[in-house]
Structure 1
């Protein structure tokens, strides 16, 4: 089970890295093309003996840039996937949980029951959004609505929004795992990583050797 968990965590991190790289690459190519063709036109005006060659390059580069109007829509779609897929990753790494400092002022038994209550609330929220978004995406698949500027590639709105129920399903599973760990006295906080402990290690890297 631990090996399977590690494999999933590596796949999760790899997919997030892929989304970031894809979003960066698409944006970079679009911006580069929109700036390069002006350079070719400048060279065309400057060097008369090769003006036709640079004008040719400028025309073709501008054509590619104008044809990449889909890049903005694709970047938005990738960013949406990054957000909803990254929620469960944030839960695992305690990336967006900053309430432990207050909870840790209570005794351990109280911390445990507060964590169980909070975990159940998070699971209820994730479950509600999961069910609602599943119905929404199912209706979009039936409607066959093409995504703006991406429909020419066969991409539908449903293909983009499917990450919403998928992301909240992963969140629900994460909190189910946390609930089990809290119930079995393996942790008291909501994260699968101790945010305070990690911050202390970063601030005092030499302490782990004492």
Structure 2
């Protein structure tokens, strides 16, 4: 079980890294093509002997830039996938805002009970949106609506928004795991970032230096 969990965590991190790298690469190429053709036209005006060569390069680069309207749509789609796929990753890595300063003031059994209550609320939220988004995505995929600027490549809106129920399903599974740990006394809270504790440590360190 631990091996399977480690494999999934590595796949999760790799997929997020791939989305970030792909978004960066597509945006870089699009910006480059939209700026480099002006350089070629400037060189054509400056060097008359090679004007035809640089004008041809400028024309080709300009046409490539104009044809890359799909890049913006693709970047938006990947950003959406990054958001909904990254929710469960944020839960696992305690990447959300810590708002449990008052809970930390209570005794550990109380913290555990409050954690279980909060976890049940998160499960209800994730489950509700998972079911609702699945119905919505099913309707969208049945309609077969082409994605803007990506339909020419066979991409439908349903292919993009399918990440919504998948993302909430991953969140639901993550909170099931947390609830199990709370129930078996393996942890106390939801694993969110302890910002109050970090702030206290930073303040203590600052006072010691002075």
Shift of 1:203: 9.9
Name the TM-score, length of structure 2 as normaliser. 0.92
Report what 1:28 is aligned to: 28
Aligned to 1:46: 46
Return closer, same or farther for 1:37/1:76 CA change in 2, 3 Å cut-off: same
Matched residues, number: 205
Alignment of 1:32-181 (within 5 A): 32-181=32-181
**Deviation string, structure 1 residues 42-93 (Cα, Å, up to 9, x no partner):** 0000000000000000000000000001111111000000000000000001
Following TM superposition, by how much is the alpha carbon of 1:189 offset from its aligned partner in structure 2, in angstroms? Answer: 1.2
TM-score by length of 1: 0.92
C-alpha RMSD of matched pairs (Å) = 2.1
Shift of 1:135: 0.3
Q: How many Å separate the matches in 2 of 1:172 and 1:119?
A: 10
Local SS of the residue matching 1:101: coil
Could you tell me which runs of 5 or more consecutive residues in structure 1 were left unpaired when the two chains were aligned. Answer: 205-210
Match in the other structure for 1:207: none
Deviations 1:139-188 (A, max 9, x none): 11110000000000100000000000000000000000000000000001
Deviation readout 1:4-58 (Å, 9 max, x if unpaired):
1001000000000000000000000000000000000000000000000000000
Alpha-carbon contact 1:94-1:195 (below 8 Å) kept? no
